[in-house]
Structure 1
Amino acid sequence: MPVNYSTPAASELMPVPGVQLGVAEAGIRKANRRDLTLIELDEGSRVAGVFTRNRFCAAPVHVCRDHLKDRHVRALLINTGVANAGVYEEPTN
């Protein structure tokens, strides 16, 4: 993963037929930062996913695997902090 990656200028990007991109500042981790991306795919587009091979993975990974089973996805929503996350609740005694 690139570190200190700078966003290319819009004029440097080439269009991809059947794909629409959008970004927003949702304030997920930091203010005034584009931290949400929406990718819209034309009807009939096909998708695939590459996932962690860890035995333990966060709920979003399970949800994404389930959604990709029919492979007829029309949109992808990506937020910052896409890392696997485990939720652990401290036992009370």
Structure 2
Amino acid sequence: FARAVQARAPGVRVEWFHQGANKEARILSNSATVQHCLRFPKGWRTRWPELHAHLTTYRRQFRANRWHDAADVVTGIVEREVSGRGGKRLRGVRFL
């Protein structure tokens, strides 16, 4: 995933890390925190329709979902930034 991001956005700094925890358990246990703490910019539905579709149609039954990447990414953001895991926290993100 990190390679794909670097290839598409060479000006973005990507920090690699390994996530060895159970993906299903992480996504489900952090879902309320994600909904409470994560904010998207105005118009994100039209700017990133695929991301919007993946996040808003995600099912609790893990195998019912074809893709888990979007839910996994927002869960990782909450784990690192909101919950304070992983050291220094970001103050904000600017969307271009």
TM-score (ref. length: structure 1): 0.31
Name the structure with the higher strand share.
Answer: 1
Between Structure 1 and Structure 2, whose CA radius of gyration is higher? 1
TM-score by length of 2: 0.31
